[in-house]
Every structure is written in structure tokens, then in C-alpha cells.
Structure 1
Amino acid sequence: MILRPGPTVPEVLLIERAKREGDPWSGHMAFPGGRADPSDASIQQTGERETLEEVGLSLERADVIGRLDDLGGRAAAANKMVVSAHVYQFDDPGRLVIQSSEVAEAFWVPLDHLTDPDNYVRHVMQYGEHEIPFPGINVGDDRPRVVWGLTYRFLEVFFEATGTPLLKHDIPDPEDFARISE
């Protein structure tokens, strides 16, 4: 999670993942980052390497604010993954250089946009015959771009830690989701 000063409030960097065959997160809104490589000395180094690859930002120039609580993927998934997020602050991150094979677009979103209930949406995912609603935040100006899932959950953790929790909306019952996705 990368922050920078904005015109009126701090902003966070979001990416829209490139659409790729076989990628379950294809087209999703996310923070820069990715899978660990055996050469990475730490999970923090993984995020720093992936950020440099995806958007051209060297996090060595940023201040490390801290690490958010790790989050897990779906409990019913065969290979449950654990995702880590570190928070960085830039005074001036410079120009983004997008790696188009991984990132369709990257842009900065004011933090107050993410806490404004007018931007809250209901994101519905289809699992077989079932539609499951998830809380989301629309960050698109020209078309819908919805932050949901793990990225949304990391934003919840971040805003809770800063004393400005996101309002609760459309949160599915985890038991229902586990039963449907088995």
C-alpha cells in the first residue's frame, strides 16, 4: 500500500490488473504486489520487487509506515494463500512506469474518496448458481472500477488502524460462502 500527499488529502496507489488467461484476479483492482520469488529475502522485499516491476516505483526511496495484519484467501480454497501488505509513504513518488503485461492502469485515489459512503457499492460474484454480494468501493471516474475482496479488506484494516473505520455494508456471511464454494 503506497501513499503520497495529494492536493487536499493523502492518496493511495491502486492498479487495475491486466486481463490474462488463467489469472483468477485478472482485471481486479489491487495494490501493486505479487507472488514471492525464491530469491526474495523477505515478504517485504517481495512487495518492493513487485512494485518496481509493475509500476516502476522503487520503494527504497519511501518511508516504511508499517505492516498491516496478514489476510487469508477463501477458507474453502484448496491452496489457502496468505497475503501481506506493507504501508509506504512517499513525499514525491515520481512518474509511474506501467508494465502492461501485468497492469492495465495505475492511478492515485484520495483517501477521503474511499471513506465516502456515496462511493460504496455492492459487488456481486457468481459462484455456480449462487450470487454472493461483497462490499466494494467504486474508484472509477469514467467507468466502474470496484475495489473489493482482499484489497477492500486491507483498506478496512488500514482505516481501522487510523481511527477512521469504513462503514459496514453488504458483508456476506462467511458460513454461507464456505458452504457454496466447497
Structure 2
Amino acid sequence: MPRLKLRLDTGERAADSTEGPRAAVAAVLRDAPKGTEVLLIRRQEREGDPWSGHMGFPGGRRDATDVSLLDTAVRETREEVGIDLRGSAALLGRLDDVPAVARGERTGMVISAFVFELIGTPELVLSPDEVAEVIWAPIPELLSGARDATYTYVRKNESYPLPAFDVDGRIVWGLTYHMLSLILGHVRTDESHG
């Protein structure tokens, strides 16, 4: 994991101040006996939430009190899973921003993803209103293809097979799959240079 830090952008971007809705998520990594793992949450089922019940990273919309999108990711992670990233993790960097898509349409929101490495083993305290469960996905198995899957997305009576990961029966697809693939790309880059 050390070289991953060197390959990710750690700076705040000018886009942080752009108009329009913004959100931020935290990809939290930890060392485990079988290799690095990444924290995923399953969102609670909520009417009107386009990502209801989906697997994702802790995170959410930027609040007026957030000085930066990094602050948004830190605040949302603390609220959703009880981890204070400022005291329990090291920032490894930031992925490229991605446009939010819900039900096959761009929402106008842009999502920033920050990657952290846990220091120690902080206790997880889940927000029952927002998080149904958490799982730790094994990066080596995601890299090897052992967790590759296909998710069939149905929109307007049309079926679309989409790439996904199957993590213990939970399907990771869409935006989270895309951001997780970006992280895996950085890990692959590190392995090819080492």
C-alpha cells in the first residue's frame, strides 16, 4: 500500500468550488491477514433514494458546514460507520471525480472519492438510519478476477449486463464498481512497477 499514496492526487481541486450538487465518499482500506481489504456499506432501503439498498462507500452530499469535499467524506464516514478518519486513518489520495448516475441518467451531481488507510482497528458504529451492514472486500480477490460478476440492469423494459463484483453475495455495481476499479487500477500500477 505505501506506493499507492504516491500515485493518487492528494490536492484539493478547483472543482471543489464549482456550482451544483457535490458529494464525497471515503474508500477505507485496512491490512488484513489475507491482504488489503476495502470497507463497503449496504445502504438502508429508503423510498425515494435512487441508491437505496446498494453497496457503496461511506459518504454523501456536501453540507454547508463542510470546508472541503475531504471534510464531507470525513464527516459522512463518521456519521455512517463511526470512524473518525482524521484520527484513525492516513489519507492516501483522491481519485478522479465522477458524475453521479441514478436510474441510467446523470443527476448533475459530481462525486469525489478519497482513499484512506486505517491505522489501528477502530470500532465500527453503524448509523441504523443509513447503513444496513458493512463488509470488508478483499482487494487481492478483486484483482484476481475471483469476484467478477455481471449485474443485469433493467431500464424501460431493456436489460443491460453491467460489470460487477460479487462480495459474499452482495453485488457491487455502478458508481461504486467504477470507483473501486479505479482503486484497483492504482494497485495494479503499483504491482507492475515493483
| TM exceeding 0.5 | yes
Does 2:160 correspond to 1:132? Answer: yes
Following TM superposition, by how much is the alpha carbon of 1:81 offset from its aligned partner in structure 2, in angstroms?
A: 1.7
Residue 10 (str. 1) matches residue 36 (str. 2): yes
Correspondences of 1:91-106 after superposition (within 5 Å) = 91-106=119-134
Query: Could you say which residue in structure 2 is the equivalent of 1:158?
Result: 183
Distance of aligned partners of 1:154 and 1:78 in 2 relative to their CA distance in 1, 3 Å threshold: closer
Structure 1 residue 159, shift from structure 2 partner: 1.4
Q: SS state of the match for residue 141, structure 2?
A: helix
- Contact 1:66/1:87 (CA < 8 Å) preserved in 2? yes
Partner of 1:69: 96
Sequence identity percentage? 43
User: What's the offset of the Cα at 1:162?
Assistant: 2.2
CA distance in 1, matches of 2:189, 2:141: 13
Contact 2:101 2:175 in 1 (8 A): no
Aligned length: 162
Separation (CA, whole Å) in 2 of partners of 1:105 and 1:89? 20
CA contact (8 A) 1:57 1:93 kept: no
- The 3-state SS of whatever aligns with 1:57 is coil
| SS class of match (2:150) | strand
Q: How does 1:1-182 map to 2 (within 5 A)?
A: 1-61=27-87, 62-74=89-101, 77=105, 79-140=107-168, 144-163=169-188
CA distance in 1, matches of 2:70, 2:121: 18
| TM-score (ref. length: structure 2) | 0.78
What is the root-mean-square deviation of aligned Cα atoms in Å?
A: 1.8
* 1:115 CA displacement: 1.8
8 A Cα contact 1:5 1:91, kept in partner: no
The one-letter code matched in structure 2 to 1:39 is: T
How far, CA to CA, are the matches of 1:3 and 1:74 in structure 2?
25
* Residue-by-residue CA offset, 1:21-43 (whole Å, 9 max, x unaligned): 11110110001111111111000
Asked if the contact 2:153/2:159 (under 8 Å) is kept, the reply is yes
- The runs of 5 or more residues in structure 2 that have no matched partner are 1-26
Secondary structure at the aligned position of 2:93 is classed as: strand
| Aligned residue identity for 1:157 | L
The superposition leaves residues 153-174 of structure 1 with CA deviations (integer Å, 9 ceiling, x where unpaired) of 1111111122259xxxxxxxxx
